[in-house]
């Protein structure tokens, strides 16, 4: 079989981006801390991952997090480490266009998988995604970390499209980590609360970027880029977004208080590169392509 395709439940799944990543895309990412890449995953990937996402939400499995909402006000569901639970998410982790996209935008020769996360807002969900940046949640320091946010349904401002403050990754500022359910374990009192840059009452900090998206489009952002989203005002459209995070070359282990608890911390000292092939397997390199993570079974 061609190395650029993977067996799927219906036909084959492409391993490389469906469209090229241009030098301008890389420049936009470096300047703004976020870029929208169109049509990176085809309908085979999107259909499979959307089905897997909705089934995961119905299953109740995993590390589910969701705010308590009033009856009839929709549902804001999130979950992490999906690839530990379902082979379809493992294919995304290890045999999809995602790691090549991450490496290209960061300018890295290889990437390690960090974790994946699912965000679903059902019709009428009032709960917003609080404005934040990602690095305060994560036990790392460095710049070579990236989130690849994949639209699996149509996305617009009405259906909770993500908004970003352009260039905010260059503020070199961490805001207090806030989860949708306001988990107090993340609330670091030493950090400032992030303003709501989607509100007209908040003084402008620069251009706010947002995109209408179709399934297979991806948003790629730096871990210090400030972002947030409104609720889902649609009466009919569920919004499904799937994020996958990768580590690059300059990352250092930094297990601060108030950061997320990993399923397995790396066996390295604080301040060291997290070279642990079980905790953070290298899944792709420019020379070798896709790599089979050590100590993990291949997707079936």
- Per-residue confidence (pLDDT) for residue 295, from 0 to 100: 47
Going by their DSSP bridges, the two strands 110-121 and 129-132 should be labelled as unpaired
Cβ-contact 26, 214 below 8 angstroms: no
- The proportion of the chain whose per-residue pLDDT surpasses 90, expressed as a percent, equals 87
pTM of the model: 0.92
Cβ-contact 198, 143 below 8 angstroms: no
- Ranges of residues in the chain with a pLDDT under 70 are 1-11, 292-300
- Per-residue confidence (pLDDT) for residue 8, from 0 to 100: 52
DSSP E strands, the chain: 5-7, 12-14, 34-37, 76-80, 110-121, 129-132, 140-141, 145-151, 163-165, 208-209, 218-221, 227-229, 239-247, 252-253, 282-285, 289-290
State whether the Cα torsion 13-18-23-24 is positive or negative. Answer: negative
φ, ψ (nearest 5 deg) of residue 23 = -55, -30
CATH class name, domain 14-248: mainly beta
- Per-residue confidence (pLDDT) for residue 72, from 0 to 100: 74
pLDDT in tens, 63-100: 999 998 877 789 999 999 999 999 999 999 989 999 99
For the chain, the structural domain boundaries read 14-248
Q: Which two tokens stand for residue 29?
A: 């990412």
- Per-residue confidence (pLDDT) for residue 293, from 0 to 100: 66
């Amino acid at each position: 079989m061609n190395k650029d395709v993977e067996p799927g439940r219906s036909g084959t799944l492409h391993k490389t981006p469906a469209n090229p990543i241009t030098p301008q895309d890389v420049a936009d990412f470096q300047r703004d801390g976020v870029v929208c890449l169109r049509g990176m995953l085809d309908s085979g990937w999107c259909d499979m991952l959307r089905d897997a996402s909705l089934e995961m939400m119905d299953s109740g499995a995993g590390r589910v997090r969701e705010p308590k909402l009033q009856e009839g006000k929709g549902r804001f569901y999130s979950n992490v480490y999906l690839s530990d639970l379902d082979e379809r998410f493992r294919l995304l982790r290890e045999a999809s266009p995602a790691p090549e996209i991450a490496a290209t935008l960061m300018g890295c020769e290889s990437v390690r998988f960090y974790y994946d996360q699912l965000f679903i807002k059902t019709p009428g969900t009032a709960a917003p995604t609080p404005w934040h940046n990602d690095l305060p949640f994560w036990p790392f320091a460095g710049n070579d970390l990236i989130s690849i946010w994949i639209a699996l349904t149509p996305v617009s401002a009405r259906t909770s499209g993500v908004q970003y403050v352009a260039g905010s990754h260059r503020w070199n500022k961490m805001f207090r980590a806030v989860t949708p359910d306001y988990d107090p374990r993340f609330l670091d009192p030493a950090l400032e609360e992030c303003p709501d840059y989607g509100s007209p009452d908040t003084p402008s900090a620069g251009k706010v970027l947002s995109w209408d998206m179709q399934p297979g489009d991806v948003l790629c952002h730096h871990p210090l880029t400030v972002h947030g989203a409104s609720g889902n005002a649609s009466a009919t459209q569920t919004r499904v977004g799937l994020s996958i995070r990768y580590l690059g070359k300059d990352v250092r282990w930094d297990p601060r208080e108030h950061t997320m608890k990993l399923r397995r911390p790396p066996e390295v000292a604080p301040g060291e590169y997290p070279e642990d092939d079980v905790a953070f397997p290298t899944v792709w390199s420019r020379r070798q392509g896709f790599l089979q993570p050590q100590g993990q079974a291949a997707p079936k």
